Amino acid sequence: MIVLIGFMGAGKTTVGHLLAERLGLPFMDTDLVIEQRTRRSVRDIFGTDGEPAFRDLEHTVTAELLAGPDAVLALGGGAVQHPATRQALHGHHVIYLEVGYAESMLRVGQDAYRPLLRDPGLEGIFRRRLASYQVVATQTVPTGGRCPEAICLDILARLGRTPAERP
């Protein structure tokens, strides 16, 4: 399994689609699977049931997808907060798409469907998560100022699937 992790706005979904296409693998996104299964939006689950309930659901779905057929899998930005999810990532290619806080905020804008964007402590959450991303990552890929196609080529090269990206 090739798993993409990183903060909101890191490009997990965009890069994941490109990568899956290049590799001829299905693309899956845990947020989307959660929304399809529950027939509710992430925003509604956060708002009605609370973040801990969302995290448990996110862990269940992530563990199940990780145990399933090979794919490119994008995790939600907070999935690595769950210790059992970090554990479940062992043995997979875990690609950490690294983004700075300011750039991440520029990329996501005022997305009403990302409930954490309204959290006044968001920058602190960002900082606290950095160690968790690093600890589970098998590759750390910088994304600042790079287009999704270049990031995708970089990942393919790191996975030994294509020649190295030209400057």
**Is residue 11 at the binding interface for ligand S3P, with CB under 6 A as the rule?**
no
Give the pair of three-digit tokens for residue 109: 């804008």
| Minimal distance, residue 93 CB to ligand S3P, in Å | 18
Is 31 an interacting residue with respect to ligand S3P (CB under 6 A)? yes
Among 59, 82, 86, 114, binds ligand S3P (CB under 6 A): 114
- Indicate the residue among 32 and 165 with the shorter CB distance to ligand S3P: 32
Question: What strands, in cross-sheet order, belong to the sheet with 27-29?
Answer: 27-29, 72-74, 2-5, 93-98, 139-142
Q: Furthest-apart CA pair in the chain: how many Å?
A: 48
Q: Compute the least distance from the CB of residue 43 to ligand S3P, in Å.
A: 7
By beta-carbon proximity to ligand S3P, the closer residue of 115 and 148 is 115
Residue 109: left (phi > 0), alpha (psi -120 to 50), or beta? left
Residues 38-77 that bind ligand S3P (CB under 6 A): 42, 76-77
Question: Rule CB under 6 A: is residue 3 a binding residue for ligand S3P?
Answer: no
73 half-sphere exposure, CB direction, 13 A CA radius:
23
